[in-house]
Amino acid sequence: MQDTTLLQLITEDFAPAQDLLELLRAESLALHGRNMVELEDILARKQALIILLEQHGRKRSQILASLNLPANRSGLEQLAAQSSVGGELLSQSEELTRILADCQAANELNGRNIQVQQATTANQLKILTGGEPPALYDARGSTARLAKQRPLSQA
């Protein structure tokens, strides 16, 4: 009975995991376009999907723990060895794991894109406000201060 419940939970996670992957891809496009309204919408939808996937993950772990099995791949394999739906349980679990790995890779890529954009924005703000002046030398050999800090409104 627990094996079919576990299989059902895994199967039910396909749609939210696939939706999350699509949202992460849409997030990548929105990041490149710097579309803040779309990014806010994507963030809200992502959070709801992540909460749902975490809840199902906890339920799966609880089922394995209730059977005195480790809440990991090894525990799933032990349950599958004793189950009539063991082969399907393992194959569906592998497919869900693959989709979630794709989600993680897409999320890491988006994170790197955000870091690059933050660095670019910080550099642009430094240029606009005068930032750190370059260390140049004047005719006497002393450092010349060519740029001075200025308010952004005067940039």
pLDDT in tens, 14-56: 999 999 999 999 999 999 888 899 999 999 999 999 999 999 9
131-153 average pLDDT score = 64
> Are 79 and 67 contacting, i.e. CB atoms less than 8 angstroms apart?
yes
Largest CA distance in the chain: 88
> DSSP label at 132?
S
133-152 average pLDDT score = 63
Q: What is the pLDDT of residue 56?
A: 94
- Whether pTM > 0.85 for this model: the answer is no
Is 92 a residue whose pLDDT tops 90?
Answer: yes
pLDDT in tens, 123-141: 888 888 776 655 566 667 6
Residue for token pair 């030398």: 137
Q: Give the angle 118-119-122 at the CA atoms, nearest 5°.
A: 85
Q: What is the pLDDT of residue 123?
A: 86
Query: Dihedral through CA 71, CA 57, CA 76, CA 86, nearest 10?
Result: 160
| Per-residue confidence band for 96, with pLDDT thresholds at 50, 70 and 90 | very high
Neighbours of 97 (CB within 10 A): 13
Is 151 a residue whose pLDDT tops 90?
Answer: no
The Cα 76–Cα 1 span in angstroms is: 14
Domains and their CATH numbers in the chain = 2-154 (1.20.58.300)
The residue type found at 31 is L
For the chain, what is the mean pLDDT? 88
The residue type found at 9 is L
